[in-house]
Amino acid sequence: MTKLTVGTEIYYTGDMANHEGFGIIIKIIPGNKYGPDMAVVHLEDGRECTPYIMGIADKYEGHGGVRFVTKKAYDIWRKTSLAEMQRRLINLQARG
């Protein structure tokens, strides 16, 4: 797991009631005997979320299995997905 710090860019995948968005970690709340470390994430549209640090993934697979991922992980997934889509399109065009 990547060490998350203040300033880490985050992608929030959203859910049925909340739209997706990008943001940045603005504060780390240390854990205690009652709960784990948390991050305060300020999204570009002004919303704030407070996920557990352990709930922010550093690998994204695009299926909604996690709510928060690093922007770097999202960018890698997006680039890979677009390249795969382009490859498939070229193969379809080559068939005729």
Number of domains in the chain: 1
What pLDDT digit, counting tens, does each position of 54-90 carry?
Answer: 999 999 999 988 999 999 999 999 999 999 999 999 9
Instruction: Kindly state whether residue 18 falls inside one of the protein's structural domains.
Output: yes
Is residue 3 one of the residues assigned to a domain? no
Q: Name the residue range of residue 32's domain.
A: 9-95
Residue-by-residue DSSP string for 8-73: -EEEE---SSS--EEEEEEEEE--BTTB--EEEEEETTS-EE--BGGGEES---SSSS-SEEEHHH
pLDDT digits (tens, 9 = 90+) for 5-60: 999 999 999 999 999 999 999 999 999 999 999 999 999 999 999 999 999 999 99
Would residue 28 count as lying in a domain? yes
pTM of the model as a whole: 0.88
